[in-house]
A and B are shown apart, each in its own frame.
Chain A
Amino acid sequence: MNGWTGQILRVNLTAKTFKKETFSEDFARKWLGGRGFAVKILFDELAPGIDPLGPDNKFIVALGPISGIPAPNTGKAIVAGKSPITGGYGDGNLGTRVAEQLRRAGFDALIVEGRADGPTMLVIQDDKVEFLPADEVWGKGTYETNDWIYAKYGKGVGVLNIGQGGENMVRYAVVRSLEGRAGGRTGMGAVMGSKLLKAVVVKGTNPIPQADLAGMKKSGAGDLREVQQMDKKAGWSIQGTNGVLAWCNEVNALPVRNFRKTQHPDAWKVDGERLNNARVATYGCPNCTMRCGIAIHDDEGREAELDYENVALLGPNLEIFDLAQMASLNYLCDDYGIDTMSSGCVLSFYADAIDHGAVAGTYGFNDLKGSKRLLGEIARRSSDIGNILAEGSMRAARKFGHGSIDYAMQVKGLEVAAYNCKFIPGMALAFGVSPIGAHHKESWIITFELKQTSRESYGPEKAQKVIELQRIRGGLFESIVSCRFPWIELGWGLESYPKYFNLVSGLNWTLDDFWVISDRIYSLIKLFWLREYPQTDRKADYPPAVWFDPANVDTEGPIAGKHLEYDKYDGLLQHYYDLRGYDKRGIPTKATLERVGLAEEGRAAEKYGKLT
């Protein structure tokens, strides 16, 4: 089968067994790869209601038809499972050599089941699988673990590993790879930790099946050069993702002080210019054409790699406006293997909760020392408060009470990314309807909202744009498995992706074929959630209450007095549901399921939750 290896590796940690399984061409064409494979496997194999941190959950690594193929930015993998922080479907992507190595070993996906009897490193070398002890690095951070693995196997192998956060099942623990890559902020590191799986190491030596090997090689090599030239001309990599920080500050979209404020006069101190000036190294993913990982020295002299989300949420959001200080928090999150975004939101929530009298404590904003201490206590669950905050802001708010859930910056349990939507309704919708909880990877429409429509609008054009971007970002890129940056940041043509796909598969697909798959994937994710939360309703798709709060408005500046409005947001949500073919609870109707080829899955889900 060209385009896919046609095989999945299934590993059971309890029994220390493994088997190679084949999948059909029909399965491949219906689900494409990556997120598509992951959600279909999890839907079929997980019983609803299982503990995401128990042995019944499954940890999945899934690749797509162009993963690891030399072409622009294809060095990415999807990690997925039932999410410990949301209780729904969870996944994430990260740059890693596993993308190429697992496919060279002969597999498009890895399914890890059960729970090991001690800290374990899973080593896959083509069709040989070993279950090796990892006691030596259990309790160690991700940097030391990575070095330990490289010392044993060399730097060319694919590695996924976890730090203390994953070991201690912090609900927003991530999976780490390479020098600074992280993925699976829905708690996939905690899923690995719950299985005592410290690391996965992969080395493959086989060719990846491709219909037109020479054509793909030629096309991929030419496009790699072309995208590199585009980046050079555009200058995007000079400031990388953090270029947007100054803009967010200018248009009142920056999270400051747990999202209470949208702008700060000191924001320039941590912007893209300052970051570029402080740069000591640059990192990227395999096959990257526009390396975005800008590393600087933190306040303890360690190298820390920064991106916009990390800077904004661990910097201005905590009222820390010193790059080196902020970088040290980022370093700790990376080393502990806990998500930088959720960590920033959880700390800011805690400071805010103390401010508002919901809980007693000495921590506060602009508290570097306290932030460092708390991150350690969270990762190790070594104090009462660390243990509470390791559960995420939603669960912490339930514990604190006093209405603090209103300013816990999360949707469905997952903390929001670094865009303050106090007066950006469409982006608030994008967070609300993201299928894994609040995340910007599915859809980001702030520029569209400001430029193509009005900021005040709650019109259907915004819902339509969210869907268009979900199809591209959350559907195409997460399933063909490639980084979206060449397209979103440089304008690299989307038509390149069916071109690559057709070269490797020998098929003749257009972008429309990918949109059908994308809608199928989003619908199945919704069914996964319905099984877990049969009583769900549209309120689950509401963003944090504080954005609607008249008492939380900016008191000065261009959006002074502005806030989201419930009735209008609900109308915008209805536009989204109508365009998607979802019912009033946000669940695909039977007619929609039929249309996207999920009638059978609908019948399976209906045993647990009603369909209309």
Chain B
Amino acid sequence: MKITVKLIGPFVQLSGFSEKELDVPDGTTADELIVIVSIDKSRPKIVTRNGRAVGPDEALAERDRVVISPIYSGG
């Protein structure tokens, strides 16, 4: 299935892209996507879809726009 991944902040430099469309296996979870885009799994982060957080085991869906961000704390 095709999804769009948007990375935030330092993840852009660490993973080498800012936003792109990815073709991932059906039922890919948020945690599996983290591995696909080469982000350290132990790094604190928040994954959102349509402005809402996605749990680590939650399956993504076709045409999702998934945003992966480090935990910001409001400066």
- Given A450-B48, A455-B52, also A235-B67 (CB < 8 A): no
Count chain A CB atoms within 10 A of each CB in B43, B44, B72, B75 and give the residue with the most. Answer: B75
Contact of B52 among A238, A446, A558 (CB under 8 A): A558
A: number of interface residues (CB 8 Å): 35
| CB of A243 closer than 8 Å to a CB of B | yes
CA distance A419 to B75 in the complex (A): 11
| CB of A252 closer than 8 Å to a CB of B | yes
CB-CB nearest in chain B for A445: B74
In the complex, which residues 292-323 of chain A have their Cβ closer than 8 Å to any Cβ of chain B?
A: 292, 307-309
How many pairs, one residue from A and one from B, have CB atoms within 8 Å of each other in the complex?
85
CB distance from B39 to the nearest CB of A (A): 11
Taking CB atoms, residues of chain A closer than 8 Å to B51 are: 250-252, 450, 455, 557-559
- Given A446-B74, A450-B53, A488-B74, also A239-B48 (CB < 8 A): no
A451 adjacent to B46 (CB under 8 Å): yes
A238 adjacent to B10 (CB under 8 Å): yes
| CB of A246 closer than 8 Å to a CB of B | yes
Taking CB atoms, residues of chain A closer than 8 Å to B9 are: 235-236, 238-239, 243-244, 246-247, 272
CA distance A419 to B74 in the complex (A): 9
| CB of B70 closer than 8 Å to a CB of A | yes
| CB of B36 closer than 8 Å to a CB of A | no
CA distance A350 to B64 in the complex (A): 38
- Given A235-B10, A450-B53, A491-B44, also A244-B67 (CB < 8 A): no
| CB of A24 closer than 8 Å to a CB of B | no
Taking CB atoms, residues of chain A closer than 8 Å to B8 are: 243-244, 246-247, 250
A273 adjacent to B46 (CB under 8 Å): no
B53 adjacent to A451 (CB under 8 Å): yes
Taking CB atoms, residues of chain A closer than 8 Å to B22 are: none
In the complex, which residues 485-519 of chain A have their Cβ closer than 8 Å to any Cβ of chain B?
A: 485, 488-489, 491
| CB of A142 closer than 8 Å to a CB of B | no
CB distance from A28 to the nearest CB of B (A): 29
B18 adjacent to A273 (CB under 8 Å): yes
| CB of A447 closer than 8 Å to a CB of B | yes
A558 adjacent to B50 (CB under 8 Å): yes
Q: Which 10 A-B pairs have the closest CB atoms?
A: A444-B74, A235-B10, A243-B9, A488-B73, A558-B51, A558-B50, A244-B72, A241-B75, A250-B67, A247-B69
Apart from A236-B70, A239-B12, A246-B8, 12 more pairs, CB < 8 Å? A235-B13, A244-B9, A244-B74, A246-B9, A250-B69, A252-B51, A307-B75, A309-B75, A440-B75, A444-B73, A447-B72, A559-B51
Interface residues of A, Cβ cutoff 8 Å to B:
234-236, 238-239, 241, 243-244, 246-247, 250-252, 272-273, 292, 307-309, 417, 419, 440, 444, 446-447, 450-451, 455, 485, 488-489, 491, 557-559
